[in-house]
C-alpha cells in the first residue's frame, strides 16, 4: 500500500479480554502488513484477565500477570492510547475521549477526539447496584484492576490496624461481607479464606479472627450452575467456616452494616458488592445506538450495531443466543469467541466480503475455590453436560486462562511466563504484603 494512501482506521475501545485479543490479532494480520491502522483505547495502562480480579483483590495474584498495553501494541503492531471514551459522533466518525488525570488530580492528557472507519466497543461491564441505598457510598467493587488493588490495600491495612495496631490484643474479629453468591462472590470468599490462613502463618494472629459472610437473594449459591454443584460448593464453604445467608435480599447498606428485607442487620468492616452486572451507564446516550435495560448495545448475529461501521462485543453487547432463550451470557469464553469471529469479519470487511456470523458455543461453567477445590460442568456435543470437580476441574479452569494468554502472547511466550511464575512463587511471599 502506498504511503500517501490513508489506511483504514480500526479503533477498539476497551482493553479487556475481548478487546485486547482482537487488537492483537488484527495487529498481526493487518497492522503488520500495513493494511490498516489499529488503535486500542483504554482508561488504564495495564491489563489483567477479569476472572482473576478476585485474586488481585485477595493479593494472591503475581503482578507479573499484568500486560502492559504499550509493550503489547509495540510487539503486535497496534497503537495504544490511554483515555476513557465519553461520547461518539457517528456522522463525523469520531470518538470523544475525556481528559486523563493522575492520582493528584493533575491533567496529564487533555480531552481529544479519535477518528475511525470501523469502531469496536468492548468496554465490559460494571457492578449493578439495583438502586439499593448506600451501595455506592459504603461498598467496594471488583469491576476494574484499580478497584481490586484498592480492595487488597484496604484489606491488608484493616487487618494490620485491627491486630498489629492493637499490640496483638483482639478487639473483635475482622468481618468481611460479600453481597452476591455468583462466581465472583464465591471465588473471592474462598480466596480471602486462604489469605487469612497465610496472614496467620506470617504471624498476624489466628485465621479464626476473620469472619467471612456471603449474602445472596436467591436460595442457592451459584444460580448459573446446576443445583448439585451449587450444593457441593455450599458444603465446601460451610466446612471452611464461611457464614451463608441465602434468600436474603439486601435493601440498604449503612456505614456499619448490611440491612436485608427481613430486617436482618449484618455488621461488617468490609463490604463487597458482587450482586450483578450491567454495561456502563454512558452507553445509553451513545449518539442514538440502541441499548437494552442493562445498557448493553444491541447487536445482530455478526456483532454489528444498527450503524454499519460500529460493532460491540463482550459484556457490553446484547447478542441473541442462537437456539436458546435470551442473550449470550457475559463470560470470558464468550468474549474469546466473539473476538475470534470479529477478527475474521473485519478482515472480510476490508476485502469487501461478507461478515462472519457469530455462533456461541457453551463449554460449561467452572468456579474455583482457590486451593480447596474447583467445581463446574463441562458441555460438549458428544458427552452433553458433565459435572466435574477437584483436580480435573482445576485443570480445565486454568486452561481457560492459558487460552487467553496464548491469544495475546503466543505459545512460546505463554510457556515461558508459566515457567517463570513457578520459580517466582518459590522466592516471593504467597500474597502481596504491601
For 122-141, the pLDDT digits (tens) are 999 999 999 999 999 999 99
Mark out the alpha helices in 125-182 (DSSP H runs): 135-138, 145-163
How crowded is residue 202: how many other Cβ atoms within 10 Å of its Cβ? 11
Cell of 276: 450483578
Which pLDDT does position 283 carry in this prediction? 95
pLDDT digits (tens, 9 = 90+) for 222-237: 877 778 878 888 888 8
pLDDT digits (tens, 9 = 90+) for 329-385: 998 889 999 999 999 999 999 999 999 999 998 877 767 666 666 665 655 444 445
| Poorest-pLDDT segment among 80-84, 167-171, 283-287 | 167-171
Residue 213: pLDDT band with limits 50, 70, 90: very high
What residues contact residue 27 under an 8 Å CB cut-off, 6+ apart?
A: 38, 73, 76, 77, 78
How crowded is residue 251: how many other Cβ atoms within 10 Å of its Cβ? 14
User: Global pTM?
Assistant: 0.87
| Poorest-pLDDT segment among 22-26, 54-58, 219-223 | 54-58
- With a cut of 60, say whether residue 48 has pLDDT above it: yes
Q: 21 near 404, Cβ under 8 Å?
A: yes
The rounded distance, in Å, linking the Cα atoms of 434 and 429 is 11
Residue 407: pLDDT band with limits 50, 70, 90: confident
Average pLDDT over residues 25-32: 96
Residue with the larger pLDDT of the pair 22 and 412: 22
Which pLDDT does position 74 carry in this prediction? 96
The rounded distance, in Å, linking the Cα atoms of 267 and 243 is 13
Kindly list the structural domains of the chain, giving each domain's residue range(s) and its CATH number in brackets, ordered by start: 8-125+279-350 (3.50.50.60), 135-276 (3.50.50.60), 364-427 (no CATH)
Residue 91: pLDDT band with limits 50, 70, 90: very high
The rounded distance, in Å, linking the Cα atoms of 420 and 414 is 10
- With a cut of 60, say whether residue 434 has pLDDT above it: no
Which pLDDT does position 5 carry in this prediction? 66
Which pLDDT does position 171 carry in this prediction? 61
Q: 318 near 298, Cβ under 8 Å?
A: yes
Amino acid at each position: 500500500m502506498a504511503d500517501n494512501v490513508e489506511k483504514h482506521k480500526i479503533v477498539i475501545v476497551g482493553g479487556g479480554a475481548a478487546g485486547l485479543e482482537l487488537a492483537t490479532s488484527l495487529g498481526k494480520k493487518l497492522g503488520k502488513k500495513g493494511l490498516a491502522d489499529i488503535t486500542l483505547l483504554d482508561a488504564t495502562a495495564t491489563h489483567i484477565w477479569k476472572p482473576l480480579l478476585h485474586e488481585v483483590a485477595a493479593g494472591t495474584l503475581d503482578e507479573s500477570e499484568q500486560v502492559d498495553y504499550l509493550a503489547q501494541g509495540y510487539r503486535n503492531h497496534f497503537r495504544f492510547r490511554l483515555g476513557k471514551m465519553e461520547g461518539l459522533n457517528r456522522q463525523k466518525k469520531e470518538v470523544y475521549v475525556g481528559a486523563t488525570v493522575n492520582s493528584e488530580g493533575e491533567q496529564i492528557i487533555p480531552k481529544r477526539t479519535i477518528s475511525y472507519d470501523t469502531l469496536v466497543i468492548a468496554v465490559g461491564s460494571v457492578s449493578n447496584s439495583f438502586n439499593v441505598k448506600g451501595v455506592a457510598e459504603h461498598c467496594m467493587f471488583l469491576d476494574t484492576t484499580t478497584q481490586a488493588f484498592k480492595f487488597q490495600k484496604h484489606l491488608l491495612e484493616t487487618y494490620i490496624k485491627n491486630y498489629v495496631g492493637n499490640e496483638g490484643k483482639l478487639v473483635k474479629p475482622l468481618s468481611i461481607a460479600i453481597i452476591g453468591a455468583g462466581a465472583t462472590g464465591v471465588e473471592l470468599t474462598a480466596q480471602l479464606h486462604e489469605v487469612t490462613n497465610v496472614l496467620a502463618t506470617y504471624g498476624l494472629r489466628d485465621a479464626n479472627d476473620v469472619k467471612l459472610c456471603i449474602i445472596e437473594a436467591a436460595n442457592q449459591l451459584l444460580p448459573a450452575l446446576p443445583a448439585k454443584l451449587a450444593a457441593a460448593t455450599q458444603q465446601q464453604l460451610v466446612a471452611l467456616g464461611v457464614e451463608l445467608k441465602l434468600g436474603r435480599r439486601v435493601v440498604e447498606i449503612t456505614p456499619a452494616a448490611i440491612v436485608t428485607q427481613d430486617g436482618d442487620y449484618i455488621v461488617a468492616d468490609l463490604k463487597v458488592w458482587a450482586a450483578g452486572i450491567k454495561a456502563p451507564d454512558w452507553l445509553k446516550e451513545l449518539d442514538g445506538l440502541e441499548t437494552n435495560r442493562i445498557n448493553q448495545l444491541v447487536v445482530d448475529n455478526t456483532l454489528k450495531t444498527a450503524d454499519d461501521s460500529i460493532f460491540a462485543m463482550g459484556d457490553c453487547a446484547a447478542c441473541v443466543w442462537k437456539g436458546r432463550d435470551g442473550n449470550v451470557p457475559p463470560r470470558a469464553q464468550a468474549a474469546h469467541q466473539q473476538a475470534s469471529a470479529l477478527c475474521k469479519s473485519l478482515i472480510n470487511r476490508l476485502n469487501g466480503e461478507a461478515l462472519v456470523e457469530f455462533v456461541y458455543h457453551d463449554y460449561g461453567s467452572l468456579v474455583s475455590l482457590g486451593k480447596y477445590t474447583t467445581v463446574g460442568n463441562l458441555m460438549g456435543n458428544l458427552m452433553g453436560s458433565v459435572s466435574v470437580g477437584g483436580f480435573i476441574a482445576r485443570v480445565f479452569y486454568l486452561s481457560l486462562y492459558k487460552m487467553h494468554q496464548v491469544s495475546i502472547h503466543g505459545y512460546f511466550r505463554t510457556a515461558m511466563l508459566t515457567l517463570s511464575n513457578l520459580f517466582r512463587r518459590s522466592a516471593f511471599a504467597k500474597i502481596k504484603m504491601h
